[in-house]
Amino acid sequence: MAYTYEFPRPALTVDCVVFGLDEENLLKILLIQRNLAPFENQWALPGGFVRIEESLETAARRELVEETGLENVFLEQLYTFGSCDRDPRDRVVTVAYYGLVNLWEYRLKAATDARDTRWFAVADLPPLAFDHEAIVQLALTRLKGKVRYEPIGFELLPEKFTLTQLQRLYETILEQELDKRNFRKKILKMNLLIQLDEYQTGVSHRAARLYRFDPEKYRNLKKKGFNFEI
Amino acid sequence: MAYTYEFPRPALTVDCVVFGLDEENLLKILLIQRNLAPFENQWALPGGFVRIEESLETAARRELVEETGLENVFLEQLYTFGSCDRDPRDRVVTVAYYGLVNLWEYRLKAATDARDTRWFAVADLPPLAFDHEAIVQLALTRLKGKVRYEPIGFELLPEKFTLTQLQRLYETILEQELDKRNFRKKILKMNLLIQLDEYQTGVSHRAARLYRFDPEKYRNLKKKGFNFEI
């Protein structure tokens, strides 16, 4: 089969920067090892060509499942990268997405399309194929900006978490220490957390109380003009 | 000439939501009237097909010049719209940009490619072609969010402006009244404005002092971790 057009068309792909936070509070990114040229054997973001009959987000989710087994991820569009020389084969424009995954409860399934799939610490990434380093940098900047004004950080935590876990998450992403008293005051004052009658288990120190984020309450408050802010 | 590919490819376009603020503090958007089907004679965002040898932003700037005469505009990528049915002719994915223009000093040149070019008040837009209404809505949301955390609002003002003009701009975009004393305190405390030894001319009331935004100072402060906030 061949497809013919009056004017030349760039190829269109999607790429996903999926973030996870591990139990030691390391921020990680999911990479795949390419098994085809160009950049064969090099690490890259999961992604691939957009099919003619699927939307951009559908393509991103399909590629994530095919290449990493990841399903039902929090996913938002990041930016579209379209400089003329970003792929040595052809003019390829890519719509980048970023995703957030709770690594506490998540385990990698066997990858199908890719040679290998692995979580890498953001501070220790291997050299990446194409312009994927620039895409990762922009995703980091977006994450850092967005966690302060939207409650997306909870996507990186298990459903039930301690206030210390939540603070560590913010400290890791914002790359700065936060004052414990101020942080707790700020977060509790917004009234978005449900205090549970449950405590941590399996810890050697005093078990801390568990909380849950209330997304419905946030949606209602937001409609009334409320601004989330850390 | 014809171009043949192994797999079908969507067509790729760019579209621009250009905002201007007029002397009566009305927020406006630049629209063109289409002279070709589909949606012939209907109003639409300026934009068009990305050429194979140009980057996305180059395409957006070229289309703006060709269709509206606008040059050297503040322009940022907004979002890429790619649902399968957004264009009745073909699968077309569009990378949307938003721009900010100082309407005080700007005048529309004669359009070439479009039947007519006109500024419309945001509150009083005509029905738009394709999914351009959704693109405009997202641009408005982005502008509203972004003016609070980045000093992009100055792009809508003349180089020299009064504090009242600046406050009106924020009130218009944020759609809320601001307390004059608080607003001035906040904006002056950030030390980003240069107080000039010049005053308004041609006003019937007492002439107010003029200020200028200092972008270099902002860049330096930002490097040191400063966050703009209104």
Chain B residue at shortest CA distance from A94: B80
Ranking A179-183, B37-41, B91-95 by mean pLDDT, the lowest is B37-41
Q: Which has the closest alpha carbon to B97: B63, B129, B120, B128?
A: B63
Ranking A206-210, A222-226, B117-121, B179-183 by mean pLDDT, the lowest is A222-226
Do B158-223 and B11-146 fall under one CATH topology? no
Ranking A66-70, A94-98, A124-128, A176-180 by mean pLDDT, the lowest is A66-70
Between positions 67 and 126 of A, the ones with CB within 8 A of B are 77, 79-80, 82-84, 91, 93, 95
The answer on pLDDT for A129 being more than 80 is yes
Q: What pLDDT score was predicted for residue A225?
A: 82
Assign B133 a pLDDT band (cuts: 50, 70, 90): very high
- Taking the Cβ of residue B49 and every Cβ of chain A, the question of whether any pair is shorter than 8 Å is answered with yes
Q: What pLDDT score was predicted for residue B103?
A: 86
Assign B1 a pLDDT band (cuts: 50, 70, 90): confident
The answer on pLDDT for A110 being more than 60 is no
Tell me, rounded to whole angstroms, the distance of Cα A138 from its chain centroid. 12
pLDDT, mean of residues A114-129: 91
Output phi, psi for B150, to 5 deg.
-140, 145
Assign B112 a pLDDT band (cuts: 50, 70, 90): low
Correct CATH for A158-223 of 1.40.20.10, 2.60.40.2140, 1.10.10.10, 3.30.420.40: 1.10.10.10
Q: What's the predicted TM-score (pTM) here?
A: 0.94
Assign B225 a pLDDT band (cuts: 50, 70, 90): confident
What is the rounded distance in angstroms from the CA atom of residue B83 to the CA atom of residue A56?
Answer: 7
Q: What pLDDT score was predicted for residue A205?
A: 85
Residues of A in contact with B55 (CB under 8 A): 82-84
pLDDT in tens, A71-89: 999 999 999 999 999 999 9
Q: What pLDDT score was predicted for residue B106?
A: 63
Find the CB nearest A12 among B10, B52, B54. Answer: B10
Mean of the per-residue pLDDT values of chain B:
93
Assign B51 a pLDDT band (cuts: 50, 70, 90): very high
Q: What pLDDT score was predicted for residue B230?
A: 87
Q: Tokens for B4, please give them.
A: 């043949």
Residues 6 or more apart whose CB falls under 8 angstroms from that of A39 comprise A129, A130
Find the CB nearest B3 among A1, A7, A52. Answer: A7
The answer on pLDDT for A108 being more than 90 is no
Expressed in percent and rounded to 5, the helix, strand and coil fractions of chain A are: 30, 30, 40
Which segments within A73-221 are labelled E, that is strand? 74-81, 92-101, 116-121, 193-199, 209-213
Helices (H), A50-206: 56-68, 132-149, 163-174, 180-189
pLDDT in tens, B145-173: 999 989 999 999 999 999 999 999 999 99
Question: What residue segments make up the domains of chain B, in order of their start?
Answer: 11-146, 158-223
Q: What pLDDT score was predicted for residue B109?
A: 55
pLDDT, mean of residues B203-220: 93
Amino acid at position B177, single letter: E
Chain B residue at shortest CA distance from A86: B55
Q: What pLDDT score was predicted for residue A132?
A: 98
Chain B residue at shortest CA distance from A96: B80
Find the CB nearest A3 among B1, B7, B80. Answer: B7
Assign A1 a pLDDT band (cuts: 50, 70, 90): confident
Domain made up of B11-146: CATH architecture = Alpha-Beta Complex (3.90)
Ranking A14-23, B71-80, B201-210 by mean pLDDT, the lowest is B201-210
What is the rounded distance in angstroms from the CA atom of residue A156 to the CA atom of residue B40?
Answer: 48
Query: Chains A and B: how many Cβ contacts under 8 Å?
Result: 88
